[in-house]
Amino acid sequence: MADFNSIKALILVFLFFTAAIVAEIRTQQEEDQQPYVGINIGTEITNFLSPVNLVSFLQSQKITHIRLYDANNDILLALAHTKIRVVVSIPNNQILAIGSSNTTAASWIDKNVVSFYPDTLITAISVGDEVLTTIPYSAPILLPAMESLYNALVASNLHTQIKVSTPHSASIVLDSFPPSQAFFNQSLIQTVLPLLQFLSRTQSPLMMNLYPYYVFMQNKGVVPLENSLFKPLTPSKEMVDPNTLLHYTNVLDAMIDAAYFSMKNLNITDVVVLVTETGWPSKGDAKEPYATIDNADTYNSNLIKHVFDRTGTPLHPELTSSVFIYELFNEDLKDSPISEANWGLFYGNSTPVYLLHVSGSGTFLANDTTNQTYCVAVNGVDFKTLQAALDWTCGPGMANCSEIQPGENCYRPNDVKNHASYAFDSYYEKAGRAAGSCDFKGVGMITTTDPSHGNCVFPGSKKAVNKTRVEIPSNNATSGAGLRPRGGMVQDFHFLITIMVFLVHSVVTTYKELLDGWAD
């Protein structure tokens, strides 16, 4: 009996871990096939986060896909074992060397890809950025560079896991509306066609940087703002392609379909569009009045929902393009115009520029930044200014300041900054976290870090303790297990063996499917 129970326990443990492996593989397969929203990470930022702190921030925000504008080895090392997928890039000034030498390309792959994969999940290499339109003299060397990199991946047996492509400006597509009449700039065809054939052959995506913001700014009065921001439209405001009668409710879908029609004109129909950049600036100069926090919030929030709704485009409703938002942080070191430094979702210190409204869009950006923010006092503010703000908040502002009274949970530490932070968060919550409700004449700031401490729980905190008790079936005789006839034990044993064989078969089948997929 004891030996049988031991065997039974071992089999149950084996079954548990086998089932977990099968579930994990299946889940990973499903996730890899779904459209996603990623984030571009520029680094022209004062006091840019250390690689370790950057990765910690990405994890706290549930960001699963990023694109770097280089192959920063420190960041790639910090990303190891995180399951965050990353697109690494080759800057424009390195294309000539890589395209001119197979040895240089192989060395680049060895140093920046092989050294990190698979601990760091590198999924693609973006070669240059808008090369055909920004440095056209490098166009002849672009495809040779991509071919050399691909061949180096083949030599390392990584060519099916890591794709090679190059991001293009939307301007390579002419007459983009109606989409059915779009075509690639004829002066670029000698470069674009073989490049598309390479993408088709290697099953790589066409990378496009698509900005409805610029379409709107260049066509004010023709393209409605609502179309650019994914806002609901009346039928009369929908854009209709007269050749296909397809209705377009937003500019981004029209731009994506214009790329598909342009490829179709060149008999390329099996390359998918990956939007490597899109976004909306939150601040601009007098010439950019539509670069506002409200519009940036609306565009990016609706963009995220649009991707996760998986509705595709009018031309390809079965195919939803993944997108990378431009960008994670405001790059304050960038030059004019003002909008150049204000495309980020967050400031360089990791506080949000605005509150995205993405509830219901999975776990992206910590599920919903509107549920993950708090208002606290800014560091380094002088005592008098902070005290005045605290007095107003607990007085005319009518915040609930009872918890910072002597003897209450948030009284200590007994200092103005701590009390002001609690009062500010109380006011911020009461105001529904509305824009401008965490200013207090410049001494309040929004943070995604819960400021609660000890027994002091801030008003905006969602802290809760959930204890789940797991009941484990007893093996005592009183449970009835010891009263079963020997035949019951034999049947149990046969049943367990049957289940074990089934699960082993599932694991083998799943791995075979993975291998077959990679082979394809």
- Long-range residue pairs from 472-481, CB within 8 A, at least 24 positions apart, any chain: 475/5
What secondary structure does DSSP assign to 208-242, as a single string?
EE--HHHHHHHTTTTS-HHHHTT----GGGSEE-T
Q: Which residues are 278's β-sheet partners? A: 325
* Nearest residue to 61 via CA among 277, 459, 463, 368: 368
In contact, 227 and 184? CB cutoff 8 Å: no
In contact, 451 and 421? CB cutoff 8 Å: yes
Marked catalytic residue, from 31, 147, 226, 277: 277
The tokens describing 260, both together, are 């598909």
Known catalytic membership, residue 31: no
Q: Which helix (H) or strand (E) holds 121?
A: strand 121-127
Matching residue, tokens 């439209």 = 233
Strand-strand pairing, 374-377 and 444-447: antiparallel
Positive or negative CA dihedral for 190, 194, 200, 205?
negative
Matching residue, tokens 């280089």 = 70
Marked catalytic residue, from 44, 130, 226, 318: 130
SS3 518: helix
* Nearest residue to 444 via CA among 411, 417, 413: 417
Q: Rounded to the nearest 10 degrees, what angle do helices 139-155 and 189-202 cross at?
A: 10
d(CA 258, CA 252): 10
d(CA 56, CA 45): 18
- Long-range residue pairs from 111-118, CB within 8 A, at least 24 positions apart, any chain: 111/73, 112/71, 112/73, 112/76, 112/88, 113/71, 113/88, 113/153, 113/156, 113/158, 113/162, 114/156, 114/158, 115/73, 116/73, 116/76, 116/77, 116/79, 116/80, 117/158, 117/161, 117/162, 118/161
Known catalytic membership, residue 130: yes
Q: Which residues are 484's β-sheet partners? A: none
Q: Half-sphere exposure (CA, 13 Å, Cβ side) for 411?
A: 6
Q: Which residues are 88's β-sheet partners? A: 125
Positive or negative CA dihedral for 475, 476, 477, 479?
negative
Helix/strand/coil (H/E/C) assignment for every residue in 366-421: CCCHHHCCEEEECCCCCHHHHHHHHHHHHCCCCCCCHHHCCCCCCCCCCCHHHHHH
User: Phi then psi for 311, rounded to 5 degrees?
Assistant: -90, -5
Q: Going by C-beta distance under 8 Å and a sequence separation of 6 or more, which residues neighbour residue 457?
A: 409, 463
The tokens describing 87, both together, are 């697109």
Active site residues: 130, 277
